[in-house]
Amino acid sequence: MKKDFIIPYLKTLSLDPENQESPIHFLDRWKTPKDYFYLRNHFAYPQIIPQPFYLTIQGNVKKPVKITMNDLHHLPSKTIMLPLECAGNNRAKFKPKVYGEQWEEGAVSQAKWKGVPLRELLNRAGLLDGSKEAVFVGMDFGERKDLEETFYYGRSLPIEKALHENTIVAYEYNGKPIPYKHGFPFRLIVPQWYAMASVKWLQNIFIIKHEFNGPFQTKDYVYYPYKDSDKDKRPVTTINVNSTIQQPMNNSIIEEGPQMIKGIAWCGTGTIKEVEISFDYGISWRKASLKWKESEKYAWVKWQFEWQAVKGEHTILVRAHDTEGHVQPLRPFWNRKGYGYNAVQKANIKVE
Ligand SMILES: Nc1nc2c(c(=O)[nH]1)N[C@H]1C(S)=C(S)[C@@H](COP(=O)(O)O)O[C@H]1N2
Ligand SMILES: [Mo]
């Protein structure tokens, strides 16, 4: 058979709404092609009302504005490569088990997004005193069973993060218009935050003087450290330093001799400084070599380690460090809704 016919697929978790994992173990590229980018949806896909596409900014502003696709194309743009990681990535690994989509390692993918810094658009509307948050509302909506009410998908950012130079309203994905399932025509892209913040099918932006209390802000995407109480809850924001072993795969059998162990690492504060491998359950660690994507400070890092594989069964652990002193822990921080998993990744290997 011709090699081009042998291709990876997404892994289906649910179809209505559509939730599918990226075949991350088989993607050795900086940019994830759209057919391999994970899909995470809370509702059915929205109907996109045809041209002209626009978004609005209203609320605590001098002058509400309507921005068309044409306007966006004429404003100074930025192109940023970054991973989007679902806050629920690796949720399936929590013990005790937690409810929700049972993601393994594949709720992460990377693309190059082109768009206009949100602050350019907010400046056009003119923020008034007391602006505390910006709320971003997508075109998709549906009923939440827990609340027996219909909601749009909406999330807010603190005004400082909304005004950050690299928070953009994107209109291109890997050099093409954004694919429909990933938020066409406009998508908010929030570097360094878990991907729930990067609202797809962005339609309306509201500037508010208080804290947004929509359910995707105050019920979901909150760390609840305890099973039976909401004590010490705090919002899910920046990505925890994380890494994945792509090859060899967990429970695989490989040959003795030189073997390349490889994967990716990424983080939400600073940049990746070091990736280490352990063959003795974390007693000693050996440095992997790293490849950064030049001039893309948010992009994931590729790591590899050449191993002289000896016969027997082995457990390989990997952990990444960021430049702000964060490192992946041996045990995950358990929380009731299963967000932010970043414990060291393991692969059990048999060498024959
Ligand atoms: N409008 C809208 N935006 C959304 C969501 C959604 O359901 N609706 N899901 C969020 C979550 S939780 C994630 S992880 C990412 C997934 O983006 P993707 O489907 O392009 O991979 O989109 C975010 N933005
Ligand atoms: Mo997510």
Domain boundary among 188, 220, 252: 220
Q: How far is the CA of 180 from the centre of ligand 2 (A)?
A: 17
Any domain includes 182: yes
Any domain includes 231: no
Q: Output the pLDDT for position 223.
A: 98
Domain boundary among 152, 187, 220: 220
CB 9, CB 23: distance < 8 Å: yes
Residues whose CB falls within 8 Å of the CB of residue 284, separated by 6 or more in sequence, listed in order: 278
Nearest CA to ligand 1 atom 21: 39
Q: How far is the CA of 185 from the centre of ligand 1 (A)?
A: 14
CB 154, CB 220: distance < 8 Å: no
Of the listed ligands, the closest to the CA of 196 is 1
- Structure token pair of residue 19: 């939730």
Q: How far is the CA of 290 from the centre of ligand 1 (A)?
A: 30
Give the residues surrounding ligand 1 with Cβ less than 6 Å away: 37-42, 84, 86, 138, 140, 153, 182, 195-196, 198-201
184 lies in the same domain as 305 = no
209 lies in the same domain as 66 = yes
Any domain includes 234: no
Q: Output the pLDDT for position 48.
A: 92
300 lies in the same domain as 162 = no
Q: How far is the CA of 197 from the centre of ligand 2 (A)?
A: 9
198 lies in the same domain as 250 = no
- Structure token pair of residue 220: 């979901």
Biggest alpha carbon–alpha carbon distance for the chain = 70
Q: How far is the CA of 34 from the centre of ligand 2 (A)?
A: 17
Which CATH number is 164's domain given?
3.90.420.10
Any domain includes 53: yes
Domain that holds residue 343: 242-351
In 60-121, beta strands by DSSP E: 65-68, 78-85, 108-117
346 lies in the same domain as 250 = yes
33 lies in the same domain as 108 = yes
CB 91, CB 104: distance < 8 Å: no
Of the listed ligands, the closest to the CA of 183 is 1
Of the listed ligands, the closest to the CA of 40 is 1
Q: Output the pLDDT for position 2.
A: 63
Taking only the tens of pLDDT, the chain with its 352 residues reads: 566 788 999 999 999 999 999 999 999 999 999 999 999 999 999 999 878 999 999 999 999 999 999 999 999 999 999 999 999 999 999 999 999 999 999 999 999 999 999 999 999 999 999 999 999 999 999 999 899 999 999 999 999 999 999 999 999 999 999 999 999 999 999 999 999 999 999 999 999 999 999 999 999 999 999 999 999 999 999 999 999 999 999 999 999 999 999 999 999 999 999 999 999 999 999 999 999 999 999 999 999 999 999 999 999 999 999 999 999 999 999 999 999 999 999 999 999 9
Any domain includes 129: yes
Nearest ligand 1 atom to the CA of 41 is 7
